[in-house]
């Protein structure tokens, strides 16, 4: 049989939550141009509730802010903080010389200036900054094949989480560390260990939003692991479920969140490419064509180094759905 799409593509998916570069709170404050007015919730004021609300915020290429999640804060104060921060404006950030979307923390204070005095809140911000600095360094080293260095950085990331006072405060960071360990051990071809990490990551997200990007990323990594092990039924199941979640988030992101949209689109294209290869390996040429059409639908989000080869191979697969020897 003529060789079309022979080798499985197993590039590790990057979670939309972690694909954007993390910027420290102190650095982000230097870029802040405008804060929107904020109303102290009357019910909170009447109850004399005050304190800090800590939010994780995405800043797009134009400098517009949008809240990604509540890290910490009283539920009576958080909605007002989120409403205000969603209208903040920053001077755009550059990553590798180009305007880029980034992630940072914002601390909104209600009442007295607790931020200057609350040691626990300052510690939570420091944990966040230290964790993501180590995490991103680990990913860079992993990409270079320096697995020892990546492991050392992930140890530092784990150390940063060791001092967390409330496990609920840094749930996303805990998930990210586990998924990164899975990716590191998979890169080292320690598949049994990687599977254990991925399943632990899946369990960490089971009580949350079932359509969250983190769940999609976990399913994608499990799918790639099973594909590498030639456990194709499991690979198809996990990758298909992951694509469905990413498609929901892709539609939800819309044009207002181009960074997230790009990450979700790339994940969909990558996994559809993998599924097309599995289909060819198992002689399911109809499925291969369907998956290749998905790749072509999302080709604008493919990495530059993959685009031409993926598109060319998929166009050939669609033209010749049943290749012969």
Write out pLDDT tens, residues 189-244.
999 999 999 999 999 888 778 899 999 999 999 999 999 999 999 999 999 999 99
Q: Are the C-beta atoms of 87 and 28 separated by less than 8 Å?
A: no
pLDDT at 41: 92
Annotate 95-107 with DSSP letters as a single string: ETTEEE-EEEEEE
Backbone φ, ψ for residue 145 (5° rounding):
85, 10
Which residues fall within 8 angstroms of residue 274, CB to CB, at 6 or more apart?
8, 9, 10, 223, 224, 227, 235, 239
Q: Report if residue 324 sits inside a domain.
A: no
- Evaluate whether 265 touches 250 at the Cβ level (below 8 Å): yes
The SS3 assignment for 286 reads: helix
Residue from 165, 146, 157, 174 nearest 17 by CA:
174
pLDDT at 108: 93
- Can you give the pLDDT at residue 261? 87
What CATH number does the domain containing 55 carry? Answer: 1.25.40.10
The rounded Cα 277 to chain-centroid distance in angstroms is: 24
- Please name the residue ranges forming H helices in the chain: 25-31, 42-46, 78-85, 119-143, 147-162, 171-187, 191-205, 213-228, 232-253, 258-281, 285-297, 304-319
- Taking CA atoms, 246 is separated from 31, 164, 213, 261, 275, in Å, by 31, 30, 7, 9, 15
**Residue 284: what pLDDT?**
95
The tens digit of pLDDT for each residue in 51-88 reads 999 999 999 889 999 998 898 899 999 999 999 999 99
C-alpha–C-alpha distance, residues 232 and 116, integer Å: 55
Kindly state whether residue 214 falls inside one of the protein's structural domains: yes
Closest CA to 288 of 315, 254, 324, 261: 315
Residue 93 bridge partners (DSSP)? 100
Q: Which residues of the chain carry a pLDDT beneath 50?
A: 1-18, 325
Residue 2 belongs to a domain: no
Q: Is residue 15 part of a domain?
A: no
> 325 lies in a domain?
no
Residue 114: predicted pLDDT: 56
| Gap between the Cα atoms of 310 and 320, Å rounded | 15
In a domain, 294, yes or no: yes
Domain that holds residue 179: 21-319
Q: What is the mean pLDDT of the chain?
A: 87
In a domain, 11, yes or no: no
Total domain count, the chain? 1
In a domain, 143, yes or no: yes
């Amino acid at each position: 049989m003529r060789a079309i799409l022979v080798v499985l593509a197993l590039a590790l998916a990057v979670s939309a939550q972690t694909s954007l570069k993390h910027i420290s709170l102190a650095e982000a404050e230097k870029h802040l141009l405008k804060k929107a007015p904020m109303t102290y919730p009357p019910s909170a004021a009447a109850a004399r509730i005050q304190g800090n609300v800590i939010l994780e915020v995405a800043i797009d290429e134009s400098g517009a802010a949008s809240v990604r999640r509540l890290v910490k804060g009283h539920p009576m104060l958080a909605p007002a903080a989120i409403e205000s921060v969603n209208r903040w404006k920053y001077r755009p950030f550059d990553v590798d010389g180009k305007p880029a979307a980034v992630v940072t923390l914002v601390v909104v204070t209600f009442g007295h200036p607790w931020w200057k005095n609350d040691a626990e809140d300052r510690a939570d911000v420091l944990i966040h900054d230290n964790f993501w600095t180590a995490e991103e360094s680990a990913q860079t080293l992993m990409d270079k094949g320096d697995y020892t260095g990546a492991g050392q950085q992930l140890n530092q990331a784990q150390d940063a989480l060791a001092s967390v006072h409330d496990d609920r405060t840094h749930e996303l960071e805990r998930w990210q560390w586990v998924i990164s360990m899975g990716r590191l051990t998979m890169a080292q071809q320690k598949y049994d260990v990687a599977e254990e990490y991925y399943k632990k990551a899946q369990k960490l997200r089971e009580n949350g939003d079932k359509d969250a990007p983190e769940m999609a990323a976990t399913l994608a990594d499990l799918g790639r692991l099973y594909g590498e092990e030639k456990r194709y039924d499991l690979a198809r199941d996990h990758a298909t479920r992951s694509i469905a979640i990413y498609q929901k988030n892709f539609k939800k992101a819309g044009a207002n969140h181009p960074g997230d949209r790009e990450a979700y689109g790339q994940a969909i294209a990558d996994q559809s490419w993998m599924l097309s290869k599995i289909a060819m390996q198992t002689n399911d040429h109809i499925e291969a064509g369907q998956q290749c059409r998905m790749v072509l639908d999302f080709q604008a989000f493919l990495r530059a180094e993959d685009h031409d080869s993926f598109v060319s191979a998929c166009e050939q697969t669609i033209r010749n759905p049943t290749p012969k020897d």
